[in-house]
Structure 1
Amino acid sequence: MSRLLIPVLLLLSAWVAARGADLPQVEVERLPVPGDAPSDIHLGEPVFLRVTVRLPAGYQAAPPQPVAEQDELVVQPGAVPQGSARPGGGMIQVFSFELIPLELGQVTFSGFKVPWRLDGGGAGESVSGPLALTILATIEDPAAATAADIRGPAVIPVPFRLPGWGFGLLLLVLAAGLWFWWWRRRSRPAVTVVPPAVDPFGGLDPAAWALAALDTLARDDVLARGGTVVFHVRLADILRRYLGGRYNVPTLERTTSELVYDAGAQMERLPGSRSSLRDLLMACDLVKFARRKPLPGVSRELLGRTRTFVEETRPRPPVETAVSGS
């Protein structure tokens, strides 16, 4: 009986081994980092893992998951998984993970588990082996660390953003400023710029200026060049300006009749001065407006009469009377 039991046990063991070889397999491999030694794993720095899942034909598997949650390790998925056909049927899937250690010393990662399902029925789970890690400090000799090696938390400046109500308040302040500027400008009294007074007589008294202007008109001899109208226009202008300065009358804005009336009222004490003024202005007006053409001798006589009028109406110094005692 024992001779029959031994072959049966051998056949059963071979069947179980062959059955196990057909199940999905999970392999975990640490990827080296350029510049680091194979054993260099520092606190807080990621450890890159490659998880290879070998699926026989007819098996479908879920993505790998940590066997157990560990407080000293943080597991994050990495790049997009890749898959390729397996020789003899099935598929090989490759996954990337990042393992971040949070404690120093010896740490054992529990590994990955892969739930799978068979197309013909049945389900199970394949588990990789654990991974032992030695976590080093960032400072080579923690005992030699000083306060200068300790860095406080980095201050990340928060960009200033004006809230929605802030824009409304800003517009209100600008509107109030514009209104205040307009109100001040409107309520401020207007500044009237008064141009400096200009002496039309150049520092002379009106009579001296008029006599000098008449001498200049005579020397120009406008009549000899046929300028009869120009002669009488200049003569009338000299006479009007003289009256304006002598009697403080706006003569340039007055007609001949108004000028004779306004100036004549101040010449009552000079007999015949009003009629003489009217005759001089009317003679000039007949040439200026009626286009009369008097002879040159008549015009020169009018110039002499104007000179006589100025000399007779110019201010006279007061006469001093001697009072003898009795």
Structure 2
Amino acid sequence: MSRMTRGFFPLRSAALVCAFMGVAAGAQSVPTGNGTRQPDSSVVLLGTPNGSRVQAGKLVRPDTVEIGDPFTLIVTVVVPADARIEWPTIADTAATVAMRAPVKVIDEGTRLGGRRERAEYSLSAWNIGTLPIELPDAIVRFGDVTMRVPLADARIFVKSVLPGDTTLHVPKPARDLFPRVLPWWQRWWPALLVIAGLGLLWWLWRRLRRRKAAAVTATPLDAYARAMHEFDRLDRLQLAEAGESGRYVALAVDVLRLFVAVRIPGAELSQTSAELLVAAVDDPRVPRDRLVSLLADADGVKFAARRISPPRAREIGGEARAIVEHIERVDRERRAAEEAAKAAAVAAAEKERQEIEERARRESRRPKSGAR
């Protein structure tokens, strides 16, 4: 070690001792929340391998608070001039003692080779009793040397805001300023809702029942049965006897056209008489000549306003019924012939199958050649 270095360290050590005496002189005794008294600052002396000294002091002001009240922790550290201090923080926001603001660091300058630095922590406590502040250690870096200044021993006393004796004090429940008056519909709306629901269920049940009854009674009629029903209804009206011969003929022909549109492929109710004849000319079930004559007479009555006597009107209506019966009879005969042909084909196939089975059975009973 050089002569200048050996002379420098005693001078710096003397300056640090003076700074330490200044910090210790500022320490006072203040009352605590439990009636005892304790010093409001503490001084820590730490040494480095090269003989330097680091002084640290802590001060909690005030030392007694209530829950949530702010208080300040002041930490003063005297270090060599070229040392660097890393101040810790409380990162856990849910801790018993939490920080209200970032740490405030004040550099008080260098005196006689020692630099004095002060950190002020604004804190709040959230429990009662004597609580440790639980602040991590401050780190002092001096060249290659790292030193820790312990700060975890700082404490704060939090007093309770409750009265002296709360064991027998039972507070009464809060009461409304005025009695609440409910309108009648708010008291009876559950019953009204139940009645409305029952009424809706009854209406749905009745509607479904009517639909089922209508589906059972309203059985769809066959085209031929409907045509016969309409002809009988038209006869009961006696329009020809009432002087409505033209109307009677028009309605009878409409019943015929509706039947033909259902039974004859390609025939439609919206077609004219000529178009209907073209659509039905190739169908063997239709008596073409009779249909042509009937449609000609009906067109003269409907479009040419030709007068017609009641007997002639009844003849045309009877001819329309006869054509419907003829088409239905031929259609039934054709269907019966097709069913008979199908039955004969099925019978022939069944007979052929039986013959094949019988032949196979005989072949199986015949002894094979060479068998003993």
Q: Which has the larger radius of gyration?
A: 1
Q: Per residue, is there more helix in 1 or in 2?
A: 2
> Common fold, TM-score beyond 0.5?
no
TM-score normalised by L of structure 2: 0.33
Higher relative contact order (CA 8 A, sep 6+): 1
TM-score normalised by L of structure 1: 0.36
